[in-house]
Amino acid sequence: MEITINQKPFKLPQGASINEAIEAFGAQPPFAIALNLTFVHRQRYGETFLSQGDALEIVQPVAGG
């Protein structure tokens, strides 16, 4: 299946969890995740399974005003 992570296409096995997406992306902590604009608590990464066309956002701390 194909999903997007930070708006870039990624191919993952059907029914992959967020943990697998994190590994495919190579995310470096600290980060937080939203799936289709809904926040996903880090404790739920392993039990949240992705579907074709899902949009994952992985964000990190940056400077802000």
Partner 1 sequence: MLYGTLFPSRLLLGTAQYPSPVVLRQAVEISEPSFLTVSLRRQAAGHNEIGGQAFWDLLSTLKIPFLPNTAGCHTPEEVWTTAQMAREVFETPWIKLELIGDDYTLQPDTLQMVGVAERLLRDGFNVLPYCTEDLVLCRRLVDIGCEAIMPWAAPIGTGRGALNPYALRLLRERLTVPMLIDAGIGKPSHACEVMEWGFDGVLLNTAVAKAADPTRLAAAFKKAIEAGREAFLGGAMIPRETAEASTPVVGTPFWHHGAP
Residues of this chain that bind partner 1 (CB under 8 A): 6-8, 25, 27-28, 30-34, 37-39, 41-42, 57-65
Smallest gap from Cβ 48 to partner 1, in A, equals 14
| Of 1 and 58, CB closest to partner 1 | 58
7 CB-near residues (< 8 Å, 6+ apart): 55
Q: If you search the block for the tokens 């990464």, which residue do you land on? A: 45
Are 24 and 13 in contact by the 8 Å Cβ rule? The answer is: no
| Of 14 and 61, CB closest to partner 1 | 61
